[in-house]
Structure 1
Amino acid sequence: VPDTGISLQNRSSGFTLEENHPNQVGGGKRPFHTIISAFVTRDGMPLISHGVMGGHMQPQGHAQMMVRLFDYGQNPQTVLDAPRWRF
């Protein structure tokens, strides 16, 4: 959505009408999916977009990548090659 910082997607297609299914449509629910992308800007300008594989650990994986890139100053290839861990 221009000028909002919001990107739209269609992952609601992951919901189902099947009774008692974990992804059954319901209020306040989000469909399970493994696509979590990130887009980082600096001073309002695009800096990097990335994504990691890993299901439930993806938010941790994103945080680990950001720490390695911005706190430790590692280059992108080193960051991608580094092992990841999860709680």
Structure 2
Amino acid sequence: MTPSPNTPKAYWKKNLKYLLILLLIWFAVSYGAGILFKDTLDTVRLGGFPLGFWFAQQGAIYVFVILIFVYVWLMNRLDKKHGYDE
């Protein structure tokens, strides 16, 4: 049985789905680009630095900050949908 779209259970289920997706993106960028694919990405240079190094030092932080704004935007939409907005 799936909960109706306006129940608190549906709200939290969607919230957890957003969190999981955004954390997986952050993990893929920070671990994947900064560690796993570093050697491949180092063939490209960004601002004079190898791209793998840039992701490990700067890129993962930038992506994390962008994901925070995406999460706020998604949660504002979800709050309005479920009637929790101010």
The question of a shared fold, defined as TM-score above 0.5 by the shorter chain, is answered with: no
Bigger share in strand: 1
With normalisation by structure 2, the TM-score equals 0.28
With normalisation by structure 1, the TM-score equals 0.28
Bigger share in helix: 2
